[in-house]
Amino acid sequence: MPRPTARVLTLLELLQSGGTRTVAELADRLGVEGRTVRRYVEQLIELDVPVVSVRGRYGGYRLAPGSRLPPLMLSDDEALAVLLGLMAGRRAGLTTTQHTAHETASAKIRRVLPRHIARRLDTLLESLSFTDQHGKFDTPDVAEAADAGVLLAIADAVRHRRPVSIRYTDRDGRRSERTLHAYGIVAHAGRWYVTGKDARIGEDRTFRLDRIADARTLPGSFEAPEAPTGPGPAQRVLSGFATAAYRHEVTLRVHGTVELIRAHLPASVASLEEHEPAAGEDRATEDRATERWLRVELRAERLDWLPPVLASLDRPFVIERPAELRDLVSEFVDRLASYARQA
């Protein structure tokens, strides 16, 4: 039978989940009588936890805003979410003027976590990298959440260079079991990815973590490519996006700078290479000596987002393929012209 102190902490956790909890509900969850619940509430109040009594038919107890934050009870998933949120906010520049606040908050959470959980969270944070790209191309507005257990298991495999068995469902709904030599976990545009070598085919692959149903560490170890001799996990993910197979293959020639094009078509979307200008192309833009013709290749499930992007470049471009994109650009131009006439 749980000790009274344990029940008081459980009561605090129940109240922290939000809303008003009736005495009957709390008594049932704690396995005690109503008067015992009231005694536990009094103990919380003596500890300066702001518990208030709500009268009426649906009355009970709830937490009220207090002068200080009461003790927090975080599950493994909640602790993981808070630490990752702190890290993401810091990278995005969403920090307070007190720059140490994020470090002290992280330290406080780690300090009260059980050791085995703290070690697993630290392993994940050490295995994680960001692409620093927040735009989304051909992705839904709301990303599926990755399973915390899968995330932590793969992070452990990355750190210790152990093969991991995963059950994966691809975008067409096909399911498969794979053995992965995971190089790293990458956060990109609101989703989690793991990049590594698919041991069965001996090639590098990138997998979405929310599509992995199970991850199980296998015996043995593997050698991961060192950063000085090859791209890191984040760059591998971006390169994989740019060369992935999609419905449409698009080839453009754009006259501009790499920086300008990359601002609108990042490495995760398109690949760039130098292009020898065709007759008349350089003469049309000879006043732009610092710019040059670049060949842009990309793959996409849809084409409708490309005309506005090309317009935002405000640079000369030539569409080599597909012809459907030329029609969409013409329709986009006509639509803009009609809007301008209405104004």
> pLDDT for 248-263, tens place per residue?
889 999 999 999 998 8
Is the backbone of residue 104 left (phi > 0), alpha (psi -120 to 50) or beta?
alpha
In this structure, what is the dihedral angle of CA atoms 107, 192, 186, 201, given to the nearest 10 degrees? Answer: 140
Spell out the domain ranges in the chain.
Answer: 4-63, 76-128, 148-234, 248-342
CATH number given to 148-234: 2.30.30.520
| Higher local confidence (pLDDT), 342 or 26 | 26
Closest CA to 313 of 294, 328, 299, 331: 294
In this prediction, residue 94 has a pLDDT band, given cuts at 50, 70 and 90, of low
Pick 260 or 126 by higher pLDDT: 260
**Cβ–Cβ contacts within 10 Å for residue 203, how many?**
8
pLDDT reported for residue 284: 42
Q: Is the pLDDT of residue 202 over 70?
A: yes
* Mean pLDDT value of segment 124-150: 64
Q: Give me the DSSP letters along 78-125.
A: HHHHHHHHHHHHHHTT---SSTTHHHHHHHHHHHHS-HHHHHHHHHHH
| Banded pLDDT at 313 (limits 50, 70, 90) | very high
The lowest-confidence range among 138-142, 302-306, 312-316 is 138-142
CA angle centred on 35, ends 29 and 41, rounded to 5°:
70
Rounded to whole angstroms, the Cα distance separating 46 from 44 reads: 5
Indicate the DSSP class of residue 228: G
Paired tokens of 303: 């084409």
Q: What are the structure tokens assigned to 277, written together?
A: 């200008």
- Of the pLDDT bands very low, low, confident and very high (cuts 50, 70, 90), residue 137 is very low
Contact, 270 vs 221, CB < 8 A? Answer: no
Q: Residue 163: pLDDT above 50?
A: yes
Amino acid code (one letter) for 245: A
Q: How far is residue 103 from each of residues 50, 130, 185, measured CA to CA in Å?
A: 27, 19, 22
Greater model confidence, 267 or 38: 38
Mean pLDDT of the chain: 80
Residue 286: what pLDDT?
43
Q: pLDDT higher for 199 or 109?
A: 199
- 4-63: which CATH topology? Arc Repressor Mutant, subunit A (1.10.10)
At which residue do the structure tokens 């009220």 appear?
A: 64
Choose the most confident range, by mean pLDDT, from 87-91, 100-104, 202-206, 324-328. 324-328
Q: Who contacts 273 (Cβ-Cβ below 8 Å, separation ≥6)?
A: 294, 295, 297
- pLDDT at residue 312, as a whole number: 92
Look at residues 145, 71, 146 and name the one whose alpha carbon lies nearest to residue 109.
Answer: 71
Average pLDDT for residues 259-279, to the nearest whole number?
A: 78
Higher pLDDT, 108 or 179: 179
CB 130 within 8 A of CB 187: yes
| Contacts within 8 Å (CB) and 24+ apart, 10-14 | 11/37, 11/40, 11/41, 11/44, 12/44, 12/49, 12/70, 12/71, 12/73, 13/73
Task: Say if residue 167 is exposed, middle or buried (CB neighbours under 10 Å; 0-12, 13-18, 19+).
Answer: middle
What integer is the mean pLDDT of 220-244? 70
CATH class of 248-342: alpha beta
Give residue 55's pLDDT.
86
Tokens at residue 297, please? Answer: 């290749």
Q: Are 227 and 217 in contact (CB under 8 A)?
A: no
